A and B are shown apart, each in its own frame.
Chain A
Amino acid sequence: MSAAALGKVFLRYLPLALLALAWEACARFELVSSSALPSLTKVAAAWWDLAKSGDLVENGAASLWRAGAGLAIAIVVGAVLGIGMATWRAADVALGPLVDMFYPLPKSALIPVTALWLGFGDGSKILLIAMGCMLPVTLGAYNGARSSERTLIWSARSLGASRLRMLRDVIVPSAMPEMLSGIRTALAISFVLLVASELIVARAGLGYLIGFLGSNGTYDSMFAVVLTVAFLGFVADRIYLLIMRRALAWRE
């Protein structure tokens, strides 16, 4: 890495480092009560204990499985739905109003509903995340597919592509940029819904761990898990951005 690139990375993470320093200072000099904000070094020690005991890995794995499975369902169903509605008028007429009505509903309101249907385990979280993450993908795919240029469609057809082939070779790639940004939104929503549902109704998962540790009064451990969730969300988004950039390299 060149010196300039290193400098850029340094500048980028400098505010984060300053925030960490400010946190440590606030706790050390007791500017806020230590139960409201345990010092960062204590939190780090608690994190290490949690990691050693296996609690973090166990609950982290449960959470990632739920988020991953829910998101995967949302992407598949959302993409098919969005592209289907964009290319097939009957589907648009039948499902368009449902999508419009369901879109503004805060999906966290469904936490008790999915728990009622599928209980306290993985199923209810996966269903909740799938439902909550589906619509951003659907709308991205729909708008992207609708913006397909007709001259591209005609070109494919006159080069010998069947209708179905044209759908695959023109409509789907045309939908890709907007659909991929829809998936990025869905990724963020999946973390929100995951932690919210685990806090309320769960016996495992990072959200559950935060709630459990908080009600036990072990605040340094609680903060350790909160920071872990924040870090996981950040890393997931960065990795996704890399994938997205690669997939859309042709746009330059």
Chain B
Amino acid sequence: MTQIVIDKVRHMYRPARGRPVLALEDVSLEVGEQEFVALLGPSGCGKSTLLYLMGGFLPIESGTISVNGKAITGPGPDRGIVFQHFALFPWKTVLQNVLYGLERQNMPRDEREARARKFIDLVGLHGFEDNYPSQLSGGMKQRAAIARTLAVDPGILLMDEPFGALDAQTRALMQSELLGIWRASPKTVIFVTHDVQEAVYLAQRVVVMSARPGRVKAIIDTNFDKTAPDLLRSQKFGDMVDHIWGLVKEEAIKAQMGRAT
């Protein structure tokens, strides 16, 4: 069933100084319930902007985005977000961070405490409940941020290059754990990345975006069995990555040229 409908969305980016830039032009996309979709494109193509529009963080000036048939007008707990740089409240401990969304839902104290601890355990942070974010590694911070978002049980999970700031080993580990969590309790996931392999590995569909102004350039079905132990070295996986990389590369070159002039 279709859950998110993006219809002819256009967005102007207006910097504090300088001229406005057309960031997104005529973007349309439909995402089904419990579907895992990756938004892939060169930097500056507006993929994060599109995610922020879905989150309701930026005003939609032209076109509409609707969730479950209702046009969105602002942020809400039905759409959880995970940012590249974690965005944990630095003055709160891990437990207090995870509790925050549950407190906003007026959940009884015992219940929210138990639920927060459950999600902290789920992401493997047991024993770090009382640590401040400044005392955690990057990977642990992102685990805490994921627990905070999952705890409020949003139907839609928006992820903005969530593993982009992590080292390669941590990233690989977190990717497979995310997939495990998603398989255990599927949600609609919109996952922004510029890593082709990550997109193919995680998503059921990969949306390739063009260089600025961002448009949907291609949509590729990547929904095949990914449970094989040597998946990353399989012929099928490699071909898929090569094909998509070919599409992204054209746009990355255009983006570079655009910047040079």
Contacts and interface: CB of A to CB of B under 8 A. Distances in A.
Asked if A pairs with B, the answer is yes
Interface of A: 149-152, 154-161, 165, 169-170, 173, 176, 249-252
B245 interface: no
In this complex, the member of A159, A170, A249 whose beta carbon has the largest number of chain B beta carbons within 10 angstroms is A159
A157 B87 contact: no
Contacts of A160: 76-77, 101, 104-105, 152
Contacts of A250: 90-92, 132, 134
A139 B85 CA distance: 28
B81 interface: yes
B55 interface: yes
A249 B93 CA distance: 11
Across the A-B interface, give the 8 residue pairs with the lowest CB-CB distance, nearest first.
Answer: A160-B104, A159-B101, A151-B87, A157-B75, A160-B77, A158-B75, A250-B91, A155-B87
B80 interface: yes
A158 B81 contact: yes
B81 to A, nearest CB: 5
14 contacts: A152-B87, A154-B52, A154-B55, A154-B75, A154-B81, A154-B87, A155-B81, A155-B87, A157-B74, A158-B154, A160-B76, A160-B104, A173-B91, A252-B134
Given A170-B89, A250-B134, A159 B57 contact: no
Given A151-B85, A252-B132, A252-B135, A157 B90 contact: no
B148 A159 contact: yes
Contacts of B148: 155, 159
Interface class of chain A by DSSP: helix
Contacts of B92: 250
B89 A152 contact: yes
Nearest to B101: A159
B77 A155 contact: no
A157 to B, nearest CB: 4
A157 B199 CA distance: 28
B83 interface: yes
Interface in B198-246: none
Contacts of B101: 159-160
A250 B131 CA distance: 9
Interface in B110-153: 132, 134-135, 148-149, 152
B83 A155 contact: yes
A163 to B, nearest CB: 9
A143 B142 CA distance: 28
Interface of B: 52, 55-57, 74-77, 79-81, 83, 85, 87, 89-92, 100-101, 104-105, 132, 134-135, 148-149, 152, 154
A165 B77 CA distance: 14
A249 B152 CA distance: 28
Nearest to A176: B91
Nearest to A251: B134
Contacts of B154: 158
B54 to A, nearest CB: 11
Given A158-B55, A169-B89, A169-B100, 19 more contacts: A152-B87, A154-B57, A154-B75, A154-B87, A155-B81, A155-B89, A156-B89, A158-B56, A158-B76, A158-B77, A158-B80, A159-B148, A159-B149, A160-B105, A161-B104, A165-B104, A170-B89, A173-B89, A250-B90
Contacts of A154: 52, 55, 57, 75, 81, 83, 87
A95 to B, nearest CB: 21
Nearest to A149: B87
Contacts of A252: 132, 134-135
Contacts of B100: 156, 159, 161, 169
Nearest to B58: A154
Nearest to B76: A158
A149 B132 CA distance: 18
A151 B134 contact: no
B164 to A, nearest CB: 13
A252 to B, nearest CB: 5
Contacts of A251: 90, 134
